[in-house]
């Protein structure tokens, strides 16, 4: 695989605040890479540095293996949507795209109609922008990104503020761009459950530091099923589990609830162990962690380190 985006020891400081700490990060061709973090984690700052909207304090950015002066030429192969584009409210989709086509020096007029078709707005091309739904506005923003026929899209929070229908539209569109048009996508959001449905890689960022980087398979493995128990004596259960399984991973939660992260395949044995030792098991279930719970767990772990 070839590397589309790469940062080397990238930092960004605003006065005394270090928003990005020395960051080594890359996106490979063909990925839908999700950058996940709470507001203020450094997502938008990283995207603005990649787009050249702000300068890094130190370190470097490479696009398609090029840096320095050569990077400007490579930026033409990128489509950035960092903030909602400033479309003219009284213009139609075509009029808006025509304005940006001329401004950006895109020669082929047919490209406007092609991108409207790709994002599913061909039938809405004569409707004024101010009459668009939020989801349609976001799709027009992605159409604008596609005008120059990019190899890679960088989208900052494209599903923020959308209703369920709008989110599904954007999700479907991103999959289509990736699978049919072979466009690499770097996307940020804090709507974690939604990203799980579209991304192939998950990068977690907090306070300007990447603290986990997982493939879809690795994420599924880490956020796989857990055993959740409600018992009458959680201290006794903790002792029994430690004695029976040397490598067991579990958490004692309030109200005598215990969650066990491994040995899921031994759930029947664990239940028998507790009952045979006089523990009253009020509830015993196996459930899947969702991405949000996994992420919050990571954040808490990093806070405790």
Confidence at residue 109, expressed as pLDDT on a 0 to 100 scale: 94
Q: Can you tell me which residue has the tokens 């973090």? A: 37
In the sheet where 58-63 sits, what is the strand order? Answer: 17-28, 3-14, 58-63
Same domain, 170 and 202: yes
How does pLDDT run across 145-156, given as a tens digit for each residue?
999 999 999 999
Same domain, 78 and 180: yes
The answer to whether residue 114 is domain-embedded is yes
Confidence band of 302 (pLDDT split at 50, 70, 90): low
**CATH number, residue 14:** 3.40.50.300
The answer to whether residue 271 is domain-embedded is yes
The answer to whether residue 293 is domain-embedded is no
Q: Is the pLDDT of residue 10 over 80?
A: yes
Confidence band of 298 (pLDDT split at 50, 70, 90): low
Same domain, 200 and 240: no
Confidence at residue 290, expressed as pLDDT on a 0 to 100 scale: 66
Same domain, 89 and 182: yes
The radius of gyration computed from the CA coordinates of the chain, to the nearest angstrom, equals: 24
Confidence at residue 3, expressed as pLDDT on a 0 to 100 scale: 97
Same domain, 56 and 178: yes
Q: Can you tell me which residue has the tokens 């589309």? A: 4
The answer to whether residue 66 is domain-embedded is yes
Same domain, 183 and 232: no
The answer to whether residue 175 is domain-embedded is yes
The residue with greater pLDDT, 38 or 236, is: 236
Same domain, 205 and 242: no
C-alpha 82/C-alpha 204 separation (Å) is: 19
The answer to whether residue 29 is domain-embedded is yes
Which of 162, 185, 220 finishes a domain? 220
Domain, as residue range, for 100:
3-220
Domain count for the chain: 2
Same domain, 156 and 119: yes
Confidence at residue 168, expressed as pLDDT on a 0 to 100 scale: 92
How does pLDDT run across 243-257, given as a tens digit for each residue?
999 999 999 999 999
Task: From 181, 185, 154, select the one nearest 75 (Cα to Cα).
Answer: 154
The answer to whether residue 299 is domain-embedded is no
How does pLDDT run across 113-146, given as a tens digit for each residue?
999 999 999 999 899 999 999 999 999 999 999 9
């Amino acid at each position: 695989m070839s590397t589309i985006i790469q940062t080397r020891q990238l930092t960004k400081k605003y006065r005394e605040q270090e928003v990005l700490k020395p960051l080594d990060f890359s996106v490979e061709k063909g990925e839908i890479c999700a950058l996940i973090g709470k507001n203020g984690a450094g997502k938008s700052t990283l995207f603005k540095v990649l787009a050249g909207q702000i300068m890094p304090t130190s370190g470097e950015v490479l696009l398609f293996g090029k840096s320095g002066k050569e990077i400007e030429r490579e930026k033409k192969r990128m489509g950035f949507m960092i903030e909602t584009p400033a479309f003219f409210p009284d213009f139609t989709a075509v009029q808006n795209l025509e304005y940006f086509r001329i401004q950006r020096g895109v020669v082929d007029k047919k490209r406007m109609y092609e991108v409207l078709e790709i994002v599913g707005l061909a039938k809405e091309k004569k409707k004024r922008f101010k009459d668009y739904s939020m989801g349609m506005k976001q799709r027009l923003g992605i159409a604008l990104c596609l005008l120059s026929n990019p190899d890679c899209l960088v989208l900052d929070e494209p599903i923020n503020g959308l209703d369920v229908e709008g989110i599904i539209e954007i999700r479907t569109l991103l999959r289509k761009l990736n699978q049919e048009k072979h466009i690499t996508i770097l996307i940020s959001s804090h709507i974690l459950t939604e990203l799980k449905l579209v991304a192939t890689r998950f990068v977690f960022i907090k306070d300007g530091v990447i603290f986990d980087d997982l493939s879809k398979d690795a994420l599924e493995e880490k956020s796989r099923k857990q055993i959740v128990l409600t018992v009458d004596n959680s201290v006794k259960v903790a002792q029994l589990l430690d004695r029976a399984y040397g490598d067991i991973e579990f958490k004692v939660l309030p109200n005598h609830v215990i969650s066990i992260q491994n040995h899921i395949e031994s759930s029947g044995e664990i239940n028998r162990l507790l009952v045979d030792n006089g523990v009253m098991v009020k509830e015993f279930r196996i459930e899947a962690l969702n991405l949000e719970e996994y992420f919050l767990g990571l954040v808490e772990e990093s806070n405790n380190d």
